[in-house]
């Protein structure tokens, strides 16, 4: 099953730059969720996307229990305006089934233990005074104080998580709390990753003149693994039409989505564009974005394809803004915009630019401080920063002005 519908995506090359929001909307509209499902143990479901809406088979907690170490009592046995001394009739630890509370007595009880029948309050041990076989208890005890009612957290028969949720650690605990040992999820997407450029070499090899180390391979593999995707690493592809076509063909046979970096321009050594069009279809876009104006999207033998810019700063930004939400939707997730908050700018921007800019910034002392060099080739800026500051097109920024800040934690996992 194809993960994309590319019919409405093509943009004439000479059209004005496409706004970021419009480009993302069109990409998401063209993305089709996978239909492949599997059942996995809850302990192995971290980061997976739910393909069902789990329903609670039990109440959580299954019975009323004590929120404190203390004494379970019936308020009717207590004096309203002074201390009361009651004998202690039983000791109730968590995990044991208590007997009914004997009238005119208190029960020693511990956190998490079931409330005995006949008790309607728990007095914390710090407010009680043990004396011999009895205990002195305070006045003014409120009904149901320090008691967690049955079903307070989750009620039997109610949905506990929504289909399309990406499971976090707390979600696993919730699933376990309602007795689920296994859960149905969407199968992990297989994403083929290939990098083009004869100038690229792998770390560990001495650089020759004109060569650079291939950082995009490591960057994108890390980003994909952070999303829980299965990465098919096709390595570096030689700058020839034959090698490029062979790599794309292989990728389409093995993967649910293909990502490449570089090679989508119109230079004599840029072969991605022609090979993608030969094997499928390609929409080349120019997006009103800095960094990362060029972006390619299409399909190879009906497998969705993203062609990211070769500059690592641009590759990271375009992946986070466009490829990531599409990957998550294709994975079956209910995709929401990343969280952003208004934070004062710790910088001045006096010159307007026509593109929507994402500055790599660090939130320090309550203000946003930009990395000194915002070049699209600077990947160290992303390693240094902890978020992005969104600067709308044709906007100047004054010191202290509120700007939208997107934490990198919203974009990298």
pTM (2 d.p.): 0.87
Q: Which fold has domain 341-407?
A: Beta-clip (2.40.340)
Main-chain phi, psi angles of 309, to 5 degrees: -60, 155
Which CATH architecture does the domain made up of 20-36+188-330 adopt?
3-Layer(aba) Sandwich (3.40)
Segments of the chain assigned to CATH 2.40.340.10: 341-407
Pick the CATH number of 65-148 from 3.40.640.10, 2.170.190.11, 2.30.42.10, 3.40.50.1220: 2.170.190.11
Locate CATH 3.40.980.10 in the chain.
20-36+188-330
Would you say 26 and 9 are in contact if contact means Cβ atoms under 8 Å apart? Answer: yes
Long-range contacts at 139-143 (CB < 8 A, ≥ 24 apart) = 139/78, 139/79, 139/80, 139/81, 139/82, 139/83, 139/84, 140/80, 141/73, 141/75, 141/78, 143/75
Do residues 31 and 3 make contact, with C-beta atoms less than 8 angstroms apart? yes
Rg (CA), the chain: 30
Q: Which helix (H) or strand (E) holds 272?
A: helix 272-279
3-class state of residue 139 by DSSP: coil
**Digit-coded pLDDT (tens) for 283-340:** 878 899 999 888 899 999 999 999 999 899 999 999 999 999 999 999 999 999 999 9
Residue 200 has pLDDT above 70, yes or no: yes
Could you tell me the pLDDT band of residue 1, with boundaries at 50, 70 and 90?
very low
On whether the CB atoms of residues 119 and 143 are closer than 8 A, the answer is no
pLDDT in tens, 143-194: 999 999 999 999 999 999 999 999 999 999 999 999 999 999 999 999 999 9
271, 123, 289: which is closest to 194 by C-alpha? 271
Q: Does the structure show a pLDDT above 90 at 235?
A: no
Q: What is the pLDDT of residue 196?
A: 84
| Distance in angstroms (rounded) separating the CA atoms of residues 307 and 295 | 6
**46, 317, 323 from 376: Cα distances, Å:** 33, 9, 18
Residue intervals in the chain for CATH 2.170.190.11:
65-148
Contact 280, 301 (CB under 8 A): yes
CATH number of this structure's domain 39-59+154-186, picked from the four choices 3.40.630.20, 3.90.105.10, 3.40.1620.10, 1.10.1740.10:
3.90.105.10
User: pLDDT-based confidence at 96, cuts 50/70/90?
Assistant: very high
* pLDDT score, position 222: 96
Give the pLDDT confidence of 119-134 residue by residue, as tens digits.
Answer: 999 999 999 999 999 9
129 alpha-carbon distance from chain centroid: 49
């Amino acid at each position: 099953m194809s993960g994309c519908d590319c019919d409405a995506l093509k943009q004439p090359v000479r059209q004005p730059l496409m706004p970021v929001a419009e480009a993302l909307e069109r990409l998401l509209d063209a993305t089709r969720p996978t239909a492949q499902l599997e059942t996995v143990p809850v302990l192995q479901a971290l980061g997976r996307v739910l393909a069902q809406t789990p329903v609670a088979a039990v109440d959580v907690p299954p019975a009323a229990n004590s929120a404190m170490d203390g004494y379970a009592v019936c308020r009717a046995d207590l004096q309203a305006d002074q201390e009361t001394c009651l004998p202690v009739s039983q000791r109730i630890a968590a995990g044991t089934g208590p007997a009914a509370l004997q009238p005119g007595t208190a029960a020693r009880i511990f956190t998490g233990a079931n409330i005995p029948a006949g008790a309607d309050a728990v007095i914390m041990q710090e407010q009680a005074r043990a004396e011999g076989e009895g205990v002195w208890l305070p006045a003014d005890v409120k009904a149901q104080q320090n008691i967690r009612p049955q079903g307070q957290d989750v009620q039997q028969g109610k949905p506990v998580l929504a289909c399309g949720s990406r499971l976090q650690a707390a979600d696993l605990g919730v699933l376990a709390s309602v007795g689920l040992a296994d859960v149905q999820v969407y199968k992990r997407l297989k994403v083929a990753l290939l990098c083009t450029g004869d100038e690229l070499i792998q770390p560990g090899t001495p650089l020759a003149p004109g060569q650079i180390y291939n950082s995009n391979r490591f960057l994108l593999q890390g980003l994909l693994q952070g999303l829980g995707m299965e990465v098919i690493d096709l390595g570096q592809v030689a700058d020839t039409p034959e090698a490029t076509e062979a790599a794309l063909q292989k990728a389409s046979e093995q993967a649910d989505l293909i990502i490449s970096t570089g090679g989508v321009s119109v230079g004599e050594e840029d072969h991605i564009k022609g090979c993608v069009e030969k094997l499928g279809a390609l929409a080349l876009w120019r997006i009103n974005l800095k960094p990362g104006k060029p972006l390619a999207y299409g399909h190879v033998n009906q497998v969705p394809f993203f062609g990211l810019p070769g500059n690592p700063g641009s590759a990271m930004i375009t992946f986070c803004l466009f490829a990531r939400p599409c990957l998550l939707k294709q994975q079956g997730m209910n995709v929401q915009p990343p969280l952003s908050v208004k934070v004062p700018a710790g910088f001045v921007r006096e010159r307007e630019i026509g593109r929507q800019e994402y500055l790599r910034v660090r939130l320090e002392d309550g203000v946003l401080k930009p990395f000194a060099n915002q070049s699209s080739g600077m990947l160290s800026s992303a390693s240094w920063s902890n978020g992005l500051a969104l600067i709308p097109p044709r906007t100047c920024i004054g010191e202290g002005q509120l700007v939208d800040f997107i934490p990198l934690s919203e974009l990298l996992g």
